[in-house]
Amino acid sequence: MSKVVTVQLEWKYSPKTYLEEPISISFEGADLEIKDGVAIANIDPDLYHTDSSIREDLTRQIESRMHAVQIMTHKDFELSKPSRTDIREDGKKNHFLEIESCVITMSVGAVDLIVKDKNGNIVSDTKRDRLDKQEYFASLVDKHRNSDPTLDQMLNSYQKSVKDPDNELVYLYEIRDSLSEEFGSKTTAIKKLGITSNEWDEIGKLANTLPLKQGRHRGKAVGALRDAEMAELEKARKSVAYLIEKYLEYLEA
């Protein structure tokens, strides 16, 4: 039997359009490409068999990109476990399957604007700005999530808020709770994060005070509960996304 020349890992994610453009990552002994609902890593066999954590490391890198998009778009995603294929020198392949089902979620594309000056130079490109910020988020998430339990907890809470919209504000508030536990007090948190008291309080007003069906104190509300308006949900999402962003900057500093 001819020798294995490449170990290939493949993940499937949905929706296939979750990422707006392909992502390529290369490092010594391997490369990873993520696009059109599939992530494929081609790995040197020696590296694969000597580095027992490479599957988990690559999965975390993919998840980091997905979480960066999720924080900015509030859209759900599903990511399968990796399947393995050994590619041999003679072109034959051995498959080792480990697949989870994916749940397809519809998504609506963003409307982008490119603003140019009178000379045709690009002054503003909303898509490029968004993708650059996603990459920035993803790099920091990938760098710190594995070593920082607070960040991991915050990202898990955000993902639950997307998957369980009936309790969205409950999960979004958990993100600020995680920061409260990390820093011990509101005063310390806003100082360390470099934010204002109003920015800290925003999610509390939405999750605790208003008589919303998605909120935290539904049993204490006087009178009938109402569904949160989309503007209120958007404000809550942006509020906690900002807290996550400031915490990432704190970890990086």
The pLDDT tens digits for 89-115 are: 888 888 775 544 333 333 334 444 555
The pLDDT tens digits for 123-148 are: 566 777 788 888 888 889 989 998 99
Extract the residue ranges of the chain whose pLDDT is less than 50.
Answer: 99-112
> Before 82, cis peptide (omega within 30)?
no
DSSP 8-state assignment for residue 21? S
Compute the Cα dihedral for 151, 155, 157, 161 and give only its sign.
Answer: positive
> Before 15, cis peptide (omega within 30)?
yes
Domain edges within the chain: 4-96, 148-252
Confidence (pLDDT) at 209 = 80
pTM higher than 0.75, yes or no? no
What are the structure tokens assigned to 16, written together?
Answer: 């296939």
